[in-house]
Amino acid sequence: MADQYTKQDPTTAYPMPDREGQSEIEHPGLTSDMVSAPDHGEKTYRGSGRLEGRKALITGGDSGIGRAVAIAFAREGADVLISYLEAEEPDARDTVRLIEDAGRKAVPVPGDIRSEDHCRALVDTAVSELGGLDILVNNAAYQMVQMGGIAEISTEQFDRVLKTNLYAMFWLCKAAVAVMEPGSTIINTSSIQGANPSPELLDYATTKAGIIDFTKGLAADVAKKGIRVNAVAPGPIWTPLIPATMPTEKFESFGGDVPLGRPGQPAELAPAYVFLASQESSYITGEIIGVTGGTPLT
C-alpha cells in the first residue's frame, strides 16, 4: 500500500473489505472483531512536521477514524490524549503504542463522555499532562440502526445519541475554548447523514446535522479569540462501529452505492483532519469538508 503522497486510482486504492464474511458484533466493537481490519494508516501515513509541538485531544481515539487521526497527528509531531470507553481498552492500548512509536507522548483516558464532569476532566488532563491544548477533535459518536424508523427508536436510545454526539461536543468545546490560545483549532466530526439522512438512522442523522450548525455558529463566536472551528463529514467508512450497530443485511452492501464504489478507510480521513489542524488552513473556519466517496453533501 502506497503512502498518502503517491498517485493512486481512488476506486482501487484500498481493497473492498469482506462485508459478507463479517458477522454482527457487540457494541462498541473492537478492531479485533473485524474480518477485514480497517486501515488506519499504520503502514502508510508519512508525516512531515506539520503539527510539531502541538497538543491534541481526540475523543473516540482508540479505533476507526479516531485512531487514524491519532496516528497522523503523532507522525506530524503532536502529543495526543485519546478518550474512549473502558470496553475499548484493547484498542486503546494499540493506539497508544502507535503514538509512542512515532516518538510522541500518548495519554489514554477511559470514560463516558455523556458525563459533563468527565468532559471537563478530559480538557483538564490534557492541559496538565500535555502542557496545554491546541487541537480538540470531537470524533466519538453513538449510533444504532433501527430498520423500523422512529417507531423503534426508544427514548433511552435517543437520549444516548444526543448526549454522546451533541452534549459532549458542547461540554468539551466550552471547556477547551476557556484554555485554548490563539492559533488553536477545533475539529468536529459530522457525517453525510447530516445532509442526507437515512430513516433507520433518524436520531443519529439529527445530531450530525446539529453538528454542522454548531460548527458554523461556534466558529463565528470564537473567531475573535483566534480559534478556528471546522468539521469533517465522512461518508461510509469501514470501522468496528458498522457491524456493531447495523444488522447483517445492512452492512453486507455497506459503501457500495457511492460513486467511488467502495466504503472508505479511516486512513483516508486523517489528511483532512491534519489539514484543518495545521497552519495550512489558517483562513478556513466554519467550514465542512466532505469525505464521502463522491456523494454530495447537499
User: Which triple of cell numbers denotes residue 164?
Assistant: 454522546
What's the per-residue H, E or C state across 148-187?
Answer: CHHHHCCHHHHHHHHHHHHHHHHHHHHHHHCCCCCCCEEE
What CA–CA distances, in Å, run from 90 to 26, 75, 98, 224, 281? 15, 21, 13, 41, 34
Residues forming the active site: 204
CB atoms within 10 A of CB 198: 13
Q: Is the dihedral of CA 209, 211, 213, 215 positive or negative?
A: negative
